[in-house]
Amino acid sequence: MAEVREVRLKSRPVGMPTHENFEIASVTLRDPGPGEVQVKDLWMTVDPYMRGRMNDVKSYAPPYALGEAMHGGAVGQVTASNDPGFQAGDLVLSQLGWREGFTAPAAGLQKLDSRGLPPQAFLGVAGMPGLTAYAGLLRVAALKADDVVFVSGAAGAVGSVVCQIAKAKGHRVIGSAGGAEKAEFLRSIGVDHVIDYKAEKDLNAALAAGAPEGIDVYFDNVGGAHLEAALNSARLFARFAICGMISIYNATEPPPGPRNLAQLIGKNIRMEGFIVSHHFDLMPKYIEDLSGWVRAGKVTWKETVFEGIEKAPDAFLGLFTGENLGKMLVKLG
**Residues making contact with ligand NDP (CB under 6 A):** 47-49, 129, 132, 153, 155-159, 177-179, 182, 221-222, 243-244, 246-247, 274-276, 319-320, 322, 324, 328
Q: Minimum Å distance from CB 89 to ligand NDP?
A: 30
Of 53 and 182, which has the nearer Cβ to ligand NDP?
182
Neighbour-count burial for 70-98, b at 16+ CB within 10 Å, e otherwise? bbbbbbbbbbbbebeebeeebbbbbebbb
Of 2 and 180, which has the nearer Cβ to ligand NDP?
180
Beta bridge partners of 19: none
Cα–Cα distance for residue pair 279/284, rounded to 1 Å = 11
Q: Minimum Å distance from CB 158 to ligand NDP?
A: 3
Of 148 and 243, which has the nearer Cβ to ligand NDP?
243
Measured CA to CA in angstroms, residue 312 lies from 33, 50, 67, 132, 283 at distances of 29, 12, 16, 23, 27
Residue 35, burial from CB neighbour count under 10 angstroms (0-12, 13-18, 19+): middle
Q: Minimum Å distance from CB 58 to ligand NDP?
A: 17
Q: Minimum Å distance from CB 221 to ligand NDP?
A: 4
Q: Minimum Å distance from CB 134 to ligand NDP?
A: 11
Does residue 61 contact residue 53 with C-beta atoms inside 8 Å?
yes
Of 76 and 178, which has the nearer Cβ to ligand NDP?
178
Of 86 and 293, which has the nearer Cβ to ligand NDP?
293
Q: Minimum Å distance from CB 4 to ligand NDP?
A: 26
What residues contact 298, with CB distance under 8 A and at least 6 apart? 164, 167, 168
Of 17 and 178, which has the nearer Cβ to ligand NDP?
178
Residue 332, burial from CB neighbour count under 10 angstroms (0-12, 13-18, 19+): buried
Q: Minimum Å distance from CB 323 to ligand NDP?
A: 7
Query: Strand 91-94 relative to strand 101-105: parallel, antiparallel, unpaired?
Result: unpaired
Of 81 and 94, which has the nearer Cβ to ligand NDP?
94
Q: Minimum Å distance from CB 246 to ligand NDP?
A: 4
Of 6 and 47, which has the nearer Cβ to ligand NDP?
47
Does residue 98 contact residue 44 with C-beta atoms inside 8 Å?
yes
Of 27 and 320, which has the nearer Cβ to ligand NDP?
320
CA 297 to chain centroid, in Å, comes to 22
Q: Minimum Å distance from CB 231 to ligand NDP?
A: 16
